A = this chain, B = another copy of it.
Amino acid sequence: MSATNSRLWQQRYRDHAPEQGAFAADEVIATLLEHRSVRAYLDRPLPAGTLETLLAAAQSAASSSNLQVWSLLAVEDPQRKARLAELANGQAHIRQAPLFLVWLADFSRIQRQAERHDIDLQALPYLDSFLMGAIDAALAAQNAVTAAESLGLGTVYIGALRNNLQAVVDELRLPPLVYPVFGLCVGYPDADKPAQVKPRLPQSLILHRETYAVHPEEQRLIDDYDRTLIEFYAEQGQQSPGWSRQSLERLRTVAILHGRERLAAAVKAQGFPLR
């Protein structure tokens, strides 16, 4: 295990890395492990061709049956970014980032082909199609994130773009059979407000072998992780109640969904009955 590998592991898990040979990190894997979500951007334009590069990376991700049921909508207009920020819980970094990407599940492209051939797409109303669009958009977006980071850019996903889905649909003039899965800010990170690598749950709590089994020491490991996260936030002068408390608060009430409780109604209105 090289010093770099050991540092990358330590940074992600705040724990000793596995023994010699058990963890490899080449340049590509180091880029993945160094990921942090960036919420403060410089007012600096992106180099020409950045969007094309990110999109080429995104389209290189696997696509279910090669259907390519997603599209990418790039927003650079400051007024539109400001309106989208308002719709997404007022997140200032949406305004700040020079490029805001909206990842769309998109069955309208294939629906236009179906109409041309007078074919009824009977699989489309099922939940699996809705889900497939979201999965393929997510695989694509994650490749774009990796490409962006390798170019020295920062990103942050915006799930809150689903808070007011109908308003986002209207703002972006999305046709039927298209819905926004999430947003993504892209820009140069502001070095004065550096983002840190967030520690994650230990591998032993995420990984199951052969069949699912709850770890016999789950509670102790979660208690440890709670403390790790409290420490992590304290280092940045922030308070945190720990992972478990924070996560429980995030799922405790319908009010905290900030409108996402209307997601099913909104995607049904876009033509996905979720049968």
Contact = CB atoms under 8 A, between A and B. Distances in A.
Contacts of A113: 222, 244, 247-248
Given A35-B62, A112-B218, A121-B251, A135 B181 contact: yes
Contacts of A73: 207-212
B206 A72 contact: yes
A207 B74 contact: yes
Nearest to A33: B60
A230 interface: no
A267 B143 CA distance: 28
Interface in A120-134: 120-124, 126-129, 131-132, 134
Interface in A94-134: 104, 108-110, 112-114, 116-117, 119-124, 126-129, 131-132, 134
A246 interface: yes
Number of copies: 2
A167 interface: no
A82 interface: no
Interface in A136-152: 138-139, 141-143, 145-147, 149-151
A29 B147 contact: yes
A26 interface: yes
Interface string A219-253: 10010000001000000000000011011101111
B134 A200 contact: no
B22 A48 contact: yes
A3 interface: no
B201 A122 contact: no
